[in-house]
Amino acid sequence: MLRPEPGRPESPRDARPGGGGGEEGEEGNPFDFAPQPVRLHRDHELFEDGDVLRHLYLQDLYVSEEAEDKRALCVSEFACHFSSCSAVFSSLEEYEHHYNSLHRHVCCSCRRSLPSARLLDLHIQEWHDSLFTILAQRQDMYQCLVEGCGQKFRTSKHRKDHLVRIHKYPPDFRFDKTKKNRGTQQTKGQQQKDTAMEVVDEVCEGTSDPPEQGESMETYVCEEEAARMATPASSEEHADVSAADPSTESPSTEPPKARFSYRIPTTVCFGHGSVRGFRGRRGRRK
């Protein structure tokens, strides 16, 4: 809306790294902020309201502030910054809820979003841990999803049966969906699973099919909840939150690619409750 005029000489200030130029010897510093006074010419749109007020006064139509119709002041919207998620919110609380529900527990290997830290742990374990695979051949490794139960099972099917029989999960609760290939977008290196564990939000009651993305292990969010959380352009993409997953993005947009820092050891995770899993997997994506 308002851009500083170029060419204005900068005021003298303490020599310090900051803005215009960045730190010495540092390449590729993208920060180029510099204080700039802005000159507004007579016809600038920013002057519109004031000019209209002036002329209303000249034409004897001036109304004092008290008598004026009060228009509600606009508040900035918040937006989810994952590029595949175009949700926009009018309050910070809504944004937080959306983010915490859908983007918080993200597996950094496959970019899937899980509803809780525990389920994320289980996911990582069962999907991305080769040790788990090896051990699972010999002992009961598949944990019951219900917290506090503690039982373990040999296969995910056994676990499913347990969940249905003992914990009264509905039998058509998205269990054991076989992983389908998504064409060329198949992530490499991901462990092939015959049976897949559907990670579901345990408070969810509905069994409406999650938006079909082909691949299992998607976060399944109740559609009512998803609808409540935001007014997104593409609500189905909530379920598969991977921002950098090309398969979820419309072909027209330029998907920003996931960044993998070379400096981060693969076993280290970032932040508290944030993206976790094995990082630094190169060549996973096209």
Of 60, 139, 183, 203, the residue at the interface with other proteins (CB under 8 A) is 60
Cβ proximity of 66 and 84 under 8 Å: no
DSSP state of 57: H
Please state the closest distance from residue 219 (CB atom) to other proteins, in A.
16
Q: Which of residues 68-107 bind other proteins (CB under 8 A)?
A: 68-70, 73-84, 88, 92, 95, 99, 103-104
Please state, in angstroms and rounded to a whole number, the distance separating the CA atoms of residues 118 and 157: 20
Q: Structure tokens of 284?
A: 């996973």
> For the chain, what is the largest distance between any 2 Cα atoms, rounded to a whole number of angstroms?
90
Min separation Cβ 115 and other proteins, Å: 16
Binding segment (CB under 8 A) for other proteins, from list 56-64, 141-149, 153-161, 213-221: 56-64
Burial of 133 (0-12, 13-18, 19+ CB in 10 A): middle
Between 34 and 222, name the residue whose CB sits nearer to other proteins. 34
* 167 near other proteins (CB under 8 A): no
What span, in angstroms and rounded, lies between the C-alpha atoms of 55 and 64? 14
Assigned token pair, 141: 């490794």
Using CB under 8 A as the binding rule, the residues of this chain from 185 to 204 that contact other proteins are none
Other CB atoms within 10 Å distance of the CB of residue 156: 20
In the complex with other proteins, the residue whose CB is nearer, 120 or 223, is 120
144 within 8 A of 150, measured Cβ to Cβ: yes
212 lines the binding site for other proteins (CB under 8 A): no
Using the rule CB under 8 A, is 17 a contact of other proteins?
yes
Residue 195 CB, shortest distance to other proteins, in Å, is: 20
* Minimal distance, residue 217 CB to other proteins, in Å: 16
Where in 237-276 is the site for other proteins (CB under 8 A)?
Answer: 243-244, 253-254, 256, 258-259, 261, 263-264, 267-272, 274-276
Q: Which of residues 105-134 bind other proteins (CB under 8 A)?
A: 121, 124-125, 129, 132
- Identify which of residues 174 and 284 has a Cβ nearer to other proteins in the complex: 284
Query: Cβ(196)–Cβ(223) under 8 Å?
Result: no
Q: How many residues are there in the chain?
A: 286
